[in-house]
Amino acid sequence: MREQRKQLIGRVTSNKMDKSVVVEVTRVSRHPLYGKVVRNHNRFMAHDEGNTCAIGDVVRIVEARPMSRRKRWAVEAILEHSEA
């Protein structure tokens, strides 16, 4: 049986490239010693075949084959469209 691919949910921060977007994924966790809530941000380049994503959209990205030097994710679905 084929293994499940990793999925992440994030917000599109850039769509200026052709068929590519930059997605920022925010993870919220507690500091192990002090208990403070810490937000970590990671930016992933993802493949957007139809150039359908706009800045501010919330999208789900999945692992994919390497498509370029930095692009190893693909947009699976747009979960929420931006207001603008």
Domains of the chain: 7-80 (2.40.50.140)
pLDDT (mean) for 1-14? 91
What pLDDT does 1 receive? 61
DSSP state letter for 70: S
d(CA 58, CA 83): 11
Q: Residue 3 — very low, low, confident or very high, per pLDDT cuts 50/70/90?
A: confident
Examine the pLDDT at 45 and tell me if it is beyond 80. Answer: yes
What pLDDT does 58 receive? 98
d(CA 10, CA 42): 9
Examine the pLDDT at 49 and tell me if it is beyond 90. Answer: yes
The whole-chain average pLDDT of the chain stands at 96
pTM of the model: 0.90
Q: Residue 40 — very low, low, confident or very high, per pLDDT cuts 50/70/90?
A: very high
In contact, 77 and 53? CB cutoff 8 Å: no
d(CA 51, CA 16): 10
